[in-house]
Amino acid sequence: MKILIIEDEPSLREIMQRALVQERYVVETAANYAEADAKIAAYSYDCILLDIMLPDGSGLDLLHHLKELRKRENVIIISARDSLDDKILGLDMGADDYLPKPFHTAELLARIKSVLRRGKSGGEMSLVLGNVTLEPDSSRVLINGKELVLLKKEFDILLYFMQRPNHLIDKSVLAEAVWGDHVDQADNFHFVYAQMKNLRRKLVEAGANIEIKAIYGFGYKLIPPAS
Ligand code: CA
């Protein structure tokens, strides 16, 4: 799960970042409107924490831009402005929740979990392909009803592929989705190859009838069983 924190106040940004990393989210941050706008356009997130008053613009305009881009990110507005107008306007513009500052990190984490749960679509909690069932909520993978133990990143990779069966996934897109945009600078994708190798081996050993195929020189594709 990848979260973008948009907040210009450095200490608050760091507190939120630390709390989220501890919960094992992939976290990126933006300290101003321009930075946030560039990230929103280039990447996808599971949840965006959005400050309204930014030094170079309004968070509400970012919300508007998200809509224009037809993005479906979950958005939680975090705002010091205690104005009811902001809250109503924000929720009206498609934000999922509103958390007034100051707040406890425990409250923030609870709101994020709730928004992610709701955003995960109408009660359809688990993904099923062939004999593989993935439960995002409990982070469990079952093969023929038997639990397959995966490391966190292996689970994230499998989730990403199970949401996109038959799609050819470029390895750089995969790296960005699972590890965050700091991998942009990585000069190789050894970590992707290593995790993919382990995940594919585990799936085969557990008797999964889905296959994540390596497409030479490009990336990977999840092939569901022929029905
Ligand atoms: Ca601010």
Q: What is the pLDDT of residues 177-226, one digit of tens each?
A: 887 766 655 556 777 888 899 999 999 999 999 999 999 888 999 999 98
* Ligand 1 mean position, distance from CA 40 (Å): 18
pTM, to two decimals: 0.58
147, 161 contact by CB (below 8 A): no
Preceding omega of 100 cis (within 30 degrees of 0): no
83, 91 contact by CB (below 8 A): no
* Ligand 1 mean position, distance from CA 7 (Å): 6
Tens of pLDDT along 39-92? 998 888 999 999 999 999 999 999 988 888 777 789 999 987 666 677 777 887
CA separation for the pair 52, 58 (Å, rounded): 5
- The CA distances from residue 195 to 53, 99, 142, 184, 200, in Å, are 40, 37, 19, 18, 9
Preceding omega of 10 cis (within 30 degrees of 0): no
CA separation for the pair 191, 185 (Å, rounded): 13
* Ligand 1 mean position, distance from CA 182 (Å): 24
